[in-house]
Amino acid sequence: MEYYIIDAFTDKLFGGNPAGVCLPENFPSDSVMQSIAAENNLSETAFVVKQESGRYNLRWFTPTLEIDLCGHATLASAFVLFGEREKDSREIRFDTASGELVVTRNGELLSLNFPAAFAEECAVYPSIEESLGVKPLAVYKSIDFMVLVKDEETLRSIEPNFSVLMGLKSEAKLDHDRFGIIVTAVGAECDFVSRYFAPNVGVPEDPVTGRAHCTLTPFWSKRLGKKIMSARQLSARGGVLECEDLGERVRISGKAVRYLKGEISNG
């Protein structure tokens, strides 16, 4: 099985978020895909299978479970396909658990067309404040939780207690683990900044998270009065994104770099 590691949302090797991309002829069993993702131990591993129609089926796995939406691994998958299988194409359509996702390219810039996720203010759960060690200005809920803090310096200083943060699932009475905690603030040198923590799915801190920007884009668009915004994710590896509010959809754009091309032996 062809296998790639792609650094997404960066133009520099060893930056952005590394995603595994597997290109099997057909999907292996769920248990094999989960084992491969655990063996890779990246925040997400994508599996991409071409259909007779020319479209692609796409699935994403963290080291511990399958998830229903992932931005950086979708960007990485498109980057591989544009470079290896669809060299003359300007658009790739994926069928996923979150519906159709379209990726277009303009030179080195790849753009994801994803569903917008609208956040509503919710309770400030004790586990959030205790685990982050900062007082939120507000907490919101969409597909993930989103915590607004006062400034970029506060965001950079956060050192989460992940064991406490995992208690949010029971506090919020959730029946699944497929959620993360976005922490965000106005940017000092860009429109907004963020970090993303998802210890319940085996990803303590995700380096760059396209999924989070489905929530961040409409939130900051309304707050800043802008449709097109620049964003940075302030993980140790760092990531750079361009975001556009399209109403019910968002456009999330970035670059990618290939780190590795190889082959997986899976029996």
> Any idea which residues carry the catalytic annotation?
44
How many residues does the structure list for the chain?
A: 267
Handedness of CA 194, 112, 250, 55 (dihedral sign): negative
Q: Using CA atoms in the order 83, 97, 128, 162, what is the torsion angle rounded to 10 degrees?
A: -60
Which residues neighbour 173 within 8 Å (Cβ) at sequence distance 6 or greater?
Answer: none
The whole-angstrom separation of Cα 84 and Cα 208 is 24
